[in-house]
Structure 1
Amino acid sequence: MAMGLVRPGKRQRGSRRAPMAEINVTPFVDVMLVLLIIFMVTAPLLNTGVPVDLPDSRANALPEEAEPVELTIDGAGTIYLGEDALAPGELPERLADIRTGVEGELPQVTLRASRSIDYGRVMAVMGELNRAGFNQIAMVTNSTSAPPASIAGSDEGQ
């Protein structure tokens, strides 16, 4: 009967195992890969805003500051502050509200304007920004490695 045999040097009762020296990282890697896939899928969906056909530029990107004021002018000429459409003539009072709510240096303004909008309309908005004291204005464009068609000799942009 082999059931009653005990190996020499081994205790049958009260024996303790030696602590495990290796950690099983497979479950950790599985969880991290699932989280990575979730973030890769949801990251493009987090970019919200007003859809605008931006012009192209080869300018370098500016360093991003905390919470810039976002102004957008769409192809129809409607002005948006963040995602809120402004009524005609409402921009100066909204800028004044932002100015009174900020202590110290005013935040940078990012201005996005459709390429089809009249240049005078963009300059009028920039004039209101300047009048309200917002002097740090960044104009948002699409990044391109080739010169934009409007300066590369093509009449497409005109």
Structure 2
Amino acid sequence: MSSGGGGSGAPMAEINVTPLVDVMLVLLIIFMITAPLMAHKIQIKLPEATLNVKPEETGRPITLAIKEDGEVFWNDEPISQQMLESQLALEAQKQPQPRIDIRADRTTKYRIVQNVVKTAKSVGIAKVGFVATNEH
């Protein structure tokens, strides 16, 4: 029983390098094309995230829930637009400022959410975030 290699009974000691050369040439071409695309012409210094602030130090965030019809809730209590503005102005004076989390219905018009964010920013709230569910 011969295992190949010319019928002498010895195992074949040659390696076929043609597929290896083909793969290496394809990789070389891919790197030659993509390398210039990865070089950024404008160098900027990106901010670094600091995660050493503990959530209990910043206090409890204020949750603003916005329903589809535009009704706004301050920590699950209904609130009018005028009261919302005065409450946000009051919270903006606190040190440290609480974070505002906005939860809106999926079908709420963006204009309604934008008005609430504009109100928060106009009275001086620095941290406004949006609450969403993870996509599966």
TM-score w.r.t. structure 2 length? 0.54
Matches of 1:134 and 1:98 in 2, distance apart? 8
TM-score (norm 1): 0.47
Q: Is 1:69–2:62 an aligned residue pair?
A: yes
Q: Which residue of 1 aligns with 2:118?
A: 127
Corresponding residue number in structure 1 for 2:80: 87
Q: What corresponds to 1:138 in structure 2? A: 129
The separation in 2 between residues aligned to 1:135 and 1:82, in whole angstroms, is: 18
Question: Counterpart in 1 of 2:90?
Answer: 97
Q: Which residue of 1 aligns with 2:106?
A: 115
Partner letter of residue 143 of structure 1? N
Counterpart CA distance in 2 for 1:69 and 1:82 is: 6
State the Cα distance separating 1:99 from its structure 2 match: 2.8
Structure 1: gaps spanning 5 or more residues = 1-61, 146-158
Post-superposition shift, 1:92? 0.7
Amino-acid identity (%): 21
CA distance in 2, matches of 1:88, 1:105: 24
Q: Whose relative contact order is higher, 1 or 2, with alpha carbons under 8 Å and at least 6 apart?
A: 1
How many aligned residue pairs are there? 82
RMSD (Å), alpha carbons: 2.0
Unaligned runs of 5+ in 2: 1-50
- Please say if residues 89 and 124 of structure 2, whose CA atoms lie closer than 8 Å, have aligned partners that are also in contact: no
